[in-house]
Structure 1
Amino acid sequence: MRRLPPLSALPAFEATARLGSVTAAGAELGRTHGAISKQIAHLSEDLGGGLFEKAGNGLKLTSRGERLRNASTALLDDLSALAQVLRSEQDERQIDILTSATFATRWLIPRLPRFYMRCPDVDLRLRMSGPQAVPDHDFDVLVSYDRLRSPTTDMDGQIIGDTSYGIVCAPGYPLQEMGHLWTAPVAFVQVGAPQSWQMWMRLADVEFRAEQEVEHAHHLLALEAAAAGLGVALAERRLVDQDLSTGRLVAPLGFRTVPGGLLAVVTPRASRRSTVAVLIEWLREEAL
């Protein structure tokens, strides 16, 4: 059975030995002067003798302290190097994806079992985007599809696939055509993106007018409201494919394509990870 010294005191001892000052060691380790002194005293008591002695306004190691420093410095250096390797291995396996809740629930999550069959050791963690910007040090990959809200010229990303957009509503909803003008009683407008309808009209080369515009905070809510017959919503085709196939929603005007509209933006912290490259290639395959 090993009889080890109090290992939690070794960083305090090593920092004090290296810096020659309890105060400096405390500043480096984020501990108080008293806490560092207490740990060193506990270590000295356990090892049966003093490890430091006064040298003017500072400290110097005793012969016993020198022997402990040589051993503890090598030990802490080895542990630090191993910890860096283990953390980098964990970082390689874990990928934090930032995307919208609608895209995640309607397209990405249903496909994840296929990704895990290919890469069972990779841990994908989803973060939901919102009106507040998320710093790029908090995620690895941003997956963005909403080109009516954010044009591709605003983003520097890798192309995953095309996107396409159209008006969707419940079967029988009174969406009417009057020459070049389409009208509806209610249209759902996303909070913070009033330009989306105008961009779609330019893309589709049609005019649209609603008697009433109702704001929605989340695109998923607009799609559900449209399926319930409460109005019309703009949708990217991937998000409504299942509803279209079951007849829950219809797209009377069809869809208009934005080439290269589905993007993946890789942050600097993740740019060299091989697992991120695998994820990007898998997304491209799924987007076909």
Structure 2
Amino acid sequence: MKTDTLGDENSQTVKRRLPPLSALRCFEAAARLESFTRAGEALHLTHGAISRAVRALEEDLGTRLFERRSHRVFLTDAGRELLHSVTNAFDLIEAAARKLRTPDNAAPLVLSCEPTLLMRWLIPRIPAFFAAHPDIPLQLVAGGGPFVFGQGIDLAIRRNDFPWQRHTQAQWLFDEAIGPVCRPEQAAGWTREASGRVQLADNAPRLHSATRVQAWEQWSALKGLQQSAGEEQVFEHFYFSLQAAVAGLGLAIAPWQLVRDDLDSGLLVAPCGFIADGSAYYLLSPEAIEPDSPVARLLDWLRCQALASA
């Protein structure tokens, strides 16, 4: 049973009888440096202040801690015993203080990104972000359409094709530009020139995505073209239609950012070029982004990646 009686070994309010911390600091420095003068310099105190602190500590403990010989000091057996305990105690205090001043690794920022953009644009570039910002932990998750902040998502990259939550902060990343893409060796057979511009041939096989069902219709309207119905294939996901184009199955309507690496490598070509569709991608956050914060640095990096080779 615990009591509240001072001095009782079971008391919850035991009064510790410890030497003054300032005196212990002076003792530790003098013992480590074997000199009161150098201890004073290390602690920004005078030789006399160190000497008085050590003398007061010896009086409190009732034993000599140093032998003083020829301007140097040497630990007695009692001094060595105390130094061992004081060093361990200071090490524990220093470790605890360091841990409190520098908390454990912060929880990573969870960034939700539309799956195809994540796979074809962000993931190939993210190693460069980690190399440039090793102090910013970032976790990527795939997700499209509406979402709720605070349910495991800190930030999101989305196209402005649906209404966002109230108070959502939106930072522009890049405008969307779309166009049909195919393998280089197939472009000549699936296109023709008319009125001084390249158009798709009637026999060009078109690849559709169930997640962007209006992509071909939208592109045709933006280009002012009347496209006759030809061979078509529908894929469950946008990413699959782009991979089908890479495999040579036909032409897919693609945003420039999602195929720019394939265009640069020569794996795909865009025979009709790209045209802005009026939409854009944004970095969404639940609150305003503080300057020079991890999120601000991520935003700057994303914009640089989006604008590179634009």
Instruction: Give the TM-score normalised by the residue count of structure 2.
Output: 0.56
Percent identity between the aligned chains? 29
User: In structure 2, the residue corresponding to 1:159 is in which secondary structure?
Assistant: strand
Shift in CA distance, 260/287, structure 1 to aligned 2, threshold 3 Å? farther
* Cα distance in 1, alignment partners of residues 3 and 216 from structure 2: 77
2:270 to 243, 251, 259: 251
Change (3 A) 1:200 1:256: same
- What is the one-letter code of the residue matched to 2:111? I
Unaligned residue ranges in structure 1 (runs of 5+)? 1-47, 52-65, 69-81
Compare CA radii of gyration and give the structure with the larger one. Answer: 2
| In 2, Cα distance between equivalents of 1:192 and 1:259 | 18
Q: Is the 8 A contact 2:210 2:238 kept in 1?
A: no
Distance 1:206-1:50 versus aligned 2 partners, 3 A rule? farther
1:203 to 222, 233, 238: 222
Partner of 1:175: 190
Higher RCO (C-alpha 8 Å, min separation 6): 1
Q: 1:213 aligns with which of 232, 252, 274?
A: 232
Which residue is equivalent to 1:267? Answer: 286
Amino acid at match of 2:281: L
* Deviation by residue 1:166-222 (Cα, 9 ceiling, x = unmatched): 100123254244858733443222214322222222333323344243222232221
Q: CA, structure 1 residues 264+209, in 2 after alignment: closer, same or farther (shift >3 Å)? A: farther
CA distance in 2, matches of 1:238, 1:117: 22
| CA displacement 1:87-128 (0-9 Å, x = unmatched) | 8x724xx21111123212222122223222331111111111
Q: In 2 relative to 1, CA 203–255 (structure 1 residues): closer, same or farther, beyond 3 Å?
A: same
C-alpha distance in 1 between matches for 2:176 and 2:212: 18
Which position in structure 2 is the counterpart of 1:90?
Answer: 106
Q: Distance in 2 between matches of 1:247 and 1:119?
A: 31
For 1:272 and 1:179, the matched residues in 2 are separated by 52
Deviation at 1:259, TM superposition (A): 6.4
Is 1:226–2:241 an aligned residue pair?
no
CA contact (8 A) 1:161 1:260 kept: no
> Distance between the aligned counterparts of 1:247 and 1:277, measured in 2?
34
Once the two structures are superposed, the pairs formed by residues 7-156 of structure 1 within 5 Å of their partners are 48=1, 67=12, 86=103, 90-91=106-107, 94-130=108-144, 133-137=146-150, 138-145=152-159, 150=161, 154=163
Count residues with an aligned counterpart: 207
Q: TM-score, normalised by structure 1?
A: 0.59
Letter of the structure 1 residue corresponding to residue 297 of structure 2? V
Per the alignment, do residues 160 and 130 of structure 1 end up closer, same or farther by CA in structure 2, a change over 3 Å counting? closer
SS in 2 for 1:245: helix
Please tell me the residue identity of whatever aligns with 2:149: D
Asked if 2 retains the 8 angstrom alpha-carbon contact of 1:188 and 1:231, the reply is yes
Change (3 A) 1:104 1:192: closer
Rounded Cα–Cα distance in structure 2 between residues aligned with 1:280 and 1:245 = 24
Deviation at 1:248, TM superposition (A): 1.9
Q: Match of 1:208, SS? A: coil
**Closer, same or farther in 2 for the Cα pair 1:202/1:232, shift >3 Å?**
same
CA distance in 1, matches of 2:289, 2:264: 38
Instruction: Say whether the 8 Å CA contact 1:170–1:248 is kept in structure 2.
Output: yes
Note if 1:159 corresponds to 2:187. Answer: no
Q: Is the 8 A contact 1:186 1:213 kept in 2?
A: yes
Query: What's the CA shift for 1:254?
Result: 0.4
| Higher share in helix | 1
Distance 2:284 2:221 in 1: 26
